[in-house]
Amino acid sequence: MPFNLISICVSLTFIMSNDGIHILKDFIKRAPETPGVYRMLNNKGDVLYVGKAKNLKNRLSNYAQGNGLSNRIRQMVFETCEVVVVEVASESEALLLEISLIKNLKPKYNIIFRDDASYPYILFTKAESPRLMSHRGSKKLKGDYFGPYPDAGAMYRTMEMLEKAFLLRTCKDSEFENRSRPCLKYDIKRCSAPCVGRISPADYKDLVKQAEKFLKGQGTSVQKALQDKMLEASTQMDYEKAAMYRDRLESIAQTLAIQSTYGAAVENGDIVALYRQNPHVCIQIFSYKNGQHVGNAQFYPKEVAELDDSEVLRLFIAMHYSGKDAPKEIVTSHEVSDAETLSHSLNEGKRVKIYTPLKGEKRHLVGQALMNAEKSLKRKLSEESSWIKQMAEFTQLLQLESPVKRIECFDISNISGKQAVASMVVAGEGSMLKSDYRKFAIKGKDTPDDYAMMREVLMRRYGKLLKETEKAKAEGSASPVWPDVIMVDGGKGHLSVLTSVMEELGLVGEGYPLLLAIAKGEYRDKGLETIFQSGREKPLEITYNSPLKFLLQVIRDESHRFAIGFHRQKRSKETFKSALDSIPGVGAKRKKALLLTFGSAAGVKNASVEDLKRVEGVNEALAEQIYHYLNG
């Protein structure tokens, strides 16, 4: 895309005075009257804001007026020291560039919709006996893709139904190619066992075709075909086969009943409904594939109080569907600004219909989505309000002058010191801040010494944070965020370790984080926890049913959950390191070839020398070495 870059850098006087209005007025004299994208920069060159315009000169002139600007935008103008514009050929190009820059640069004053996750698809792999699997990310694997689904739950529910109704395999190719008998899924009627020939390749492919038909919205015709087969089997007194068809029909019927809850007025599209309770907003999406309701998702954009609903929806739709397969139609609860431009900008130029129904069945569906958005927002605000009250109680109990805004909590997970890991979870003003969570693989010795492990993790975390803070001060840049409270899962001993580390780093006393430990009660009963504070002899007195005790339990339990999850991951990875790793002459490449051929280390052990020789990269001498190493 041929962009013409026009930039103006102001004099040092303007940078030091930070007079954004004068800077803008000076720039506007030379600004083009064409479509394009503009960027506001501060005196460090950081991008403050990205916007698009049909006419750059006119749009920038609005900022220079001063009157009618919200406090947020007025502050942005005040910080502006440089303006950069890019001219483009059309509004559509401007919109695409605007969204791309916002996503990549994440400017301070733009509305950022936290929606970076790739959306899940259902994939039938290209194989003799196709595998049913979930997929995220770029479509590198060969096969037929169905989706995207609004959330993983919707996709997995659909996959579960496909297993029950069409008996499709979900196992990895390495397992499939090396099975000698059916797995458990065959016994519970969730797979037809093509791996061992319990179904012919032609019949299995027919099952895959039926499943794909169902996903394409032809569920009724699939039902009719299965009903005919059930009746035919019953007529021939093959009651076992008839019962199998009956069970498959029931799975399909249940799914269709659930999916048709909200009707089928939308064939292939999304309903996007916005509910506002200023300054808060919830956007609810209902997704439809082939006339079937396949799932929903909620989003809570921040800093949107000064934007009207049409502009919030424009930004959301542009960012949410950017880089994804946009649906054929997007049905909205409110009119969307620049809807026509937006409709031509999504899906690589293929027009997406964006409209707001005023009556009829689609308006009814929009009403359902709005009702869900309202309930979701009220529930979220209620949870945040309760959380904020608990944080306020925390501040009061500890007799702190400033409110507690950030708590970091640590937990250790290991089995007798093996595969030891630690977690750090973070509680913010209104909820857990999951994007700030951290995992630590313990680097010390594999010994069951909780105190040594905790010391290592705390030193790594706050030693690094201290260095980053000192570096930021030296450079004059923003310092990293420090917690108000640091909490460890454990008793007085763990608190002593925490205190020792912070003293060693020179981070104790007034102005530094408060140090706590939360110890489990006798018999590990919830509600009987004891909370210790560094510098206090006696534990904090918190009543059994105190909301604050509940808050601390939630934080502690979350750190425990996160640590255990990471420990399981690491343990699983270690378990995968099989006996093959210690065989001389077997590196990563040969190990992979052996596992792909035989499915597991046990499969390799049971293989003969002749079988081993057939593996790529394994000669007779190595085959004998592998055989004797594994079989003594």
What is the C-alpha separation between 617 and 478, in angstroms, rounded? 55
| CB-CB neighbours of 32 under 10 Å | 13
pLDDT for position 436: 92
Going from the N-terminus, what domains does the chain have, and what CATH number goes with each?
Answer: 4-105 (3.40.1440.10), 127-259 (no CATH), 269-378 (3.30.420), 407-474+481-565 (3.30.420.340), 579-631 (1.10.150.20)
Q: What are phi and psi of 124, to 5 degrees?
A: -105, 115
As given in the structure block, the two tokens for residue 25 are 């007025």
Per residue in 402-442, pLDDT (tens digit) is 888 899 999 988 765 567 888 999 998 888 898 899 989 88
Query: Average pLDDT in the 360-365 region?
Result: 90
Alpha-carbon 338 to chain mean position = 29
Residues 592, 598, 602, 604: is their CA dihedral positive or negative?
negative
Query: Average pLDDT in the 93-115 region?
Result: 80
The region of weakest confidence among 131-135, 321-325, 395-399 is 321-325
Q: Is 253 helix (H, G, I), strand (E, B) or coil?
A: helix
pLDDT for position 521: 62
Q: Over 60: is that where the pLDDT of 1 sits?
A: no
Comparing 47 with 447, which gets the higher pLDDT?
Answer: 47
pLDDT for position 178: 80
Q: Which residue has the tokens 């502690």?
A: 556
pLDDT for position 347: 65
Q: Over 80: is that where the pLDDT of 219 sits?
A: no
Q: Name 354's Cβ contacts closer than 8 Å, sequence gap at least 6.
A: 317, 329, 330, 332, 336, 339, 342, 343
Q: Name 86's Cβ contacts closer than 8 Å, sequence gap at least 6.
A: 3, 4, 5, 6, 36, 37, 38, 97
Q: Over 60: is that where the pLDDT of 20 sits?
A: yes
pLDDT for position 8: 37
The region of weakest confidence among 205-214, 268-277, 457-466, 521-530 is 521-530
Rg (CA), the chain: 30
| CB-CB neighbours of 181 under 10 Å | 9
As given in the structure block, the two tokens for residue 309 are 């609903």
Q: Is 288 helix (H, G, I), strand (E, B) or coil?
A: strand
Beta strand 292-299 with 280-289 is: antiparallel
Q: Over 60: is that where the pLDDT of 367 sits?
A: yes
pTM for the complete prediction? 0.62
Instruction: Let me know: does 412 contact 457? Beta carbons within 8 Å.
Output: yes
Q: Over 90: is that where the pLDDT of 70 sits?
A: no
Instruction: Let me know: does 451 contact 490? Beta carbons within 8 Å.
Output: no
pLDDT for position 23: 81
What is the C-alpha separation between 24 and 63, in angstroms, rounded? 8
Residues pairing with 516 in the sheet: 487, 533
Comparing 473 with 71, which gets the higher pLDDT?
Answer: 473
Q: Over 80: is that where the pLDDT of 162 sits?
A: yes
Instruction: Let me know: does 415 contact 566? Beta carbons within 8 Å.
Output: no
Instruction: Let me know: does 81 contact 41? Beta carbons within 8 Å.
Output: yes
Which of 124-128, 245-249, 544-548 holds the top average pLDDT? Answer: 124-128
Mean pLDDT of the chain: 82
Per residue in 132-159, pLDDT (tens digit) is 999 887 778 889 988 778 778 878 888 9
Per residue in 501-549, pLDDT (tens digit) is 999 999 988 889 999 998 876 544 555 678 889 888 888 777 777 777 7
Q: Is 40 helix (H, G, I), strand (E, B) or coil?
A: strand
Query: Average pLDDT in the 11-29 region?
Result: 60
Kindly provide the b/e burial profile for residues 280-301, where b requires at least 16 CB atoms within 10 angstroms of the residue's own CB. bbbbbbbbbbbebbbbbbbbeb
The region of weakest confidence among 45-49, 196-200, 477-481, 503-507 is 477-481
Per residue in 488-512, pLDDT (tens digit) is 988 889 999 999 999 999 998 888 9
Residue 205: pLDDT band with limits 50, 70, 90? very high
Q: Is 124 helix (H, G, I), strand (E, B) or coil?
A: strand
Query: Average pLDDT in the 40-59 region?
Result: 89
Query: Average pLDDT in the 371-386 region?
Result: 89
Q: Is 204 helix (H, G, I), strand (E, B) or coil?
A: helix
As given in the structure block, the two tokens for residue 431 are 């909820």
What is the C-alpha separation between 168 and 203, in angstroms, rounded? 11
Q: What percent of the chain has pLDDT over 70?
A: 87
What percentage of the chain's residues is helix, strand, coil (to nearest 5)? 45, 20, 35
What is the C-alpha separation between 282 and 276, in angstroms, rounded? 7
Q: Over 80: is that where the pLDDT of 118 sits?
A: no
